[in-house]
Structure 1
Amino acid sequence: MSTVETTSRNLTPSAAAKLRRTAWYRKERFSRLWAMIALGLLLAVVTGEQGNTRDIFFSLESTFTSPRLWICLAITVGVWALREFAGTPIKGSFTKVKSSAKATTSGPVGSLLERFRTDKRLRLGALALLLVLVLVIPSGLARTWQTVLVDQIAIFALLAIGLNVVIGWAGLLDLGFFAFFAVGAYSTAYWTGRLPIEPPVILNNFWVIPVAVVTCLICGVLLGAPTLRLRGDYLAIVTLGFHEIIYLVAKNADGLTGGPQGARLIPDFSIDFAGIEYKWSIKPLPYWYLLVFFIILVIFLFSRLEHSRVGRAWTAIREDEIAAAANGVDTVRFKLMAFAIGASTSGVAGVIFTSKYGYINPEVFPLLQSILILAYVIFGGMGSIPGVLIGTAILVWLPEALKDWVDPSDRYMYLGALLVVMMIYRPQGVWPSRRRQRELRMAEEGMGDADAMSEPAGGKIS
């Protein structure tokens, strides 16, 4: 008889219960507290005083003796306390309101909600009202915020919708997605005759859009073809290398891309058809309306694609690629389609961005932008088009809103802290898809992985 069996037989029921009991500091609530305290300490250090070569501990000493440390800890611990002790009552109140609304379907509120769910015309009317607000409200904003809407929110919304196809629907982790944006931008410079090599024909910017989309589609296939056997972290490293290849080619191929000097004097959009003449200028509003048109078009096409046979194949690949292949899904073809179709939005965004600025160089396409687009998709909710749009709007707006109070070098530190808090308390995102919510709930119950991308190539290991 082993020592373990002898000891277990000699244990009293109370002693055995103590062995099964989890220590208080290891419970989930306090594990989250330690994470929030660590986040507060890290935030205080990275946003504190800069170090110097003469005193390597100067930064730490100044941080731990300044009020900044206690402010950061108060914020993070306050968020923890609010979520842990007030989150359940608030959620219960919302649940009661929701259940009472369902119970009173004969009342005005319940009947309106029921009608909104069943009446397609009412939903279309709400979308039309939202579209009117999107088109009208920017005209009343300051010029600075109009520029933010065009140059950052709308452009990155297009890119995030494309990345959502790759990572949210097909489950392929792509860390170099911004490289396709560079391809679209340099396609614009080439077909408008602003690169060292002359194109066969000079095209209007509107005609450049389909050409740039096709170019990005081809680049998506070229990236996807040699990486089909890779998943998870390995695929992320390959896509990271793809971004660096595009960046280095743009920087060093002087005779092809203009090198560090880039391309200048790229023409604006213009229309000259059937007596109608109009030329876009540096004013942001005309570009805002143009971007809204393309965003709506992409959302319509991708929404139809999500619920098609292709979208269901992507879902099967994301959840379990081995099982999908065993059930007849051509994983190679559909993964190539995900890379290509996701990259197509970058062509549109690259053409509009380049035409508005009239100048590009390799430094416009840093690796940080690829990481930010991925953060927008995860923060908003992978697999959800409304979530991707909301996540992009919030995370682009926040650094601009903090610029009067926060040092520019620290803005992304606070953005990172927000992402950490979001991943601790709401990993599914601001507006997640129903499928993503179900996956996380099953993972919490021990019935599956929270993320199919983390599964090894050979399937789940039990």
Structure 2
Amino acid sequence: MKNKLVVFLIAAVGLLLLPLLAQHAGNFWVRMLDFALLYVLLALGLNIVVGYAGLLDLGYVAFYAVGAYMFGLLASPHLTDTFPAIKAMFPYGMHLPVWAVIPLGAALAGIAGMLLGAPTLKLRGDYLAIVTLGFGEIIRVFMNNLDRPVNITNGPKGLQQIDSIKIFGMDFGRSGELFGIEFSSVTKYYYLFLLLVVVSVIICHRLETSRIGRAWMAIREDEIAAKAMGINTRNMKLLAFGMGATFGGVSGVMFATFQNFVSPESFSLQESVMIVAMVVLGGIGHIPGVVLGAVLLAALPEALRWVAGELDLQRVTDGRIDAAILRQLLIALAMIAIMLLRPRGLWPSPEHGKAAPQPVKA
């Protein structure tokens, strides 16, 4: 117990000091850490659906989009500029506080998750994956086309001038100074995202060890046996979709305020596949593994982007090698190598997929 406490304290100090050290090398590295934490939030939410309940969801990015566009519409001048009635009601714009925005984003995404789960309750495996994939693409296409006849989402142009988060008068969109230490805006967002990740990890751990978590795992292992034991599989599946979606909604809110801009291009199918890969690569159903997989797959592309820029591959190879294509190739090769060497993930759950016990020899 003491050893675990020491490890936790060392990890906590390291996480608190990491952005302060990284910002000396440039805000690029802190920004990379911010996006890694956002993907950790997304992966933890998808892990509830895929890892705990065993429901393959390839449209998870839709809930990410719902949260981002919800905040974008409420925290940008788009609605007041487009609709005179809203302008008359809110002459200075709708600037909701963070305490209202985060629960609202979570609730809206949770409702969207249950709406997705309702028609898919009898589907399994590939069929469930295809339906959820279609749902994710439908949301993206809607966001891309809801600019006429009434301009709601501003279409492919996206929503701009989105407010930054303000807590206790502190604007996260501006640099500040505390105890003689300068904190850039990306560093401030790092600590906000880190707090949300810690809260999410606690929630996921409590869910995993609760009766609801055990019911989800029973459905994952054998749905017929779980139903025979009295588990309401219908309600449990809906709850898994809804709970998982809430994490996506909160992540979307944070993404919108961090970028100050959202557009449909940020919520493509590739994003959904990447989030699923984070869960599978790290270790399905295991929180530390999911966090590890999300951090690696979120940071690796950005690190390779920096390497390609430093090497200036376009100039060295006379344009024969595109840095973006090479980066994707290296990521794919790394994922293939890891899954061949560690088929259960980098840090798999000790229970999930455990082999049967061997008989004891006399």
Using structure 1 for the length normalisation, give the TM-score: 0.66
Matched to 2:334, the amino acid is L
Deviation at 1:413, TM superposition (A): 2.0
Q: Secondary structure at the match of 2:333?
A: helix
Return the offset for 1:290: 0.2
Match of 1:279 among 171, 177, 180: 171
1:296 — aligned with what? Answer: 198
State the identity as a percent: 41
Where does structure 1 differ by over 3 angstroms across 4 or more consecutive aligned residues?
A: 193-201
Structure-to-structure mapping, 1:56-455, within 5 angstroms: 119=1, 121-141=2-22, 142=25, 143-150=27-34, 152-196=35-79, 198=86, 202=94, 203-254=96-147, 255-272=151-168, 277-281=169-173, 283-403=185-305, 404-405=307-308, 407-438=323-354, 441-442=355-356
1:155 partner letter: L
8 Å Cα contact 2:53-2:240 kept in structure 1: yes
Could you tell me which runs of 5 or more consecutive residues in structure 2 were left unpaired when the two chains were aligned. Answer: 175-184, 314-322
The residue number in structure 1 matching 2:180 is none
Cα distance in 1 between the residues matched to 2:295 and 2:167: 30
> Can you give the 5+ residue segments of structure 1 that lack an aligned partner in the other structure?
1-118, 446-462
Q: Offset of 1:145 from its aligned partner?
A: 0.7
Residues 433 and 408 of structure 1: CA distance in aligned 2, closer, same or farther (over 3 Å): same
The 8 Å contact of residues 205 and 268 in structure 1, kept in 2 or not, is answered as no
Deviation of 1:421 (Å): 2.2
Partner AA of 2:29 in structure 1? W
- Structure 2: how far apart are the matches of 1:124 and 1:302? 20
State the alpha-carbon separation in 1 of the partners of residues 47 and 225 from structure 2: 22
What is the number of equivalent residue pairs in this alignment?
Answer: 318
Larger radius of gyration: 1
Query: Post-superposition shift, 1:122?
Result: 4.3
Moved more, 292-301 or 387-396: 387-396
Residue 399 (structure 1) shift = 2.2
> Distance between the aligned counterparts of 2:245 and 2:78, measured in 1?
23
Using the TM superposition, give the Cα deviation of residue 147 of structure 1 relative to its aligned residue in structure 2, in angstroms: 0.7
User: Quick one: which amino acid aligns to residue 318 of structure 1?
Assistant: R
Amino acid at match of 2:261: Y
Q: Name the SS for the 1:256 alignment partner.
A: coil
CA RMSD of aligned residues (A): 1.9
The structure with higher relative contact order (CA 8 Å, sep 6+) is 2
The 3-state SS of whatever aligns with 2:160 is coil
Contact 1:164–1:382, Cα closer than 8 Å, also in 2: yes
Query: 1:205, 1:351 within 8 Å by CA — same for their partners in 2?
Result: no
Q: Rate the CA distance shift 1:312–1:284 in 2: closer, same or farther, 3 A.
A: same
TM-score (norm 2): 0.84
Q: Which AA in structure 1 matches 2:153?
A: T
Q: 1:192 touches 1:204 (CA, 8 Å); kept in 2?
A: no
Q: Is the 8 A contact 2:216 2:236 kept in 1?
A: yes
Which residue identity lines up with residue 434 of structure 1 in the other structure? P
**Cα pair distance change 1:195/1:246, threshold 3 Å:** farther
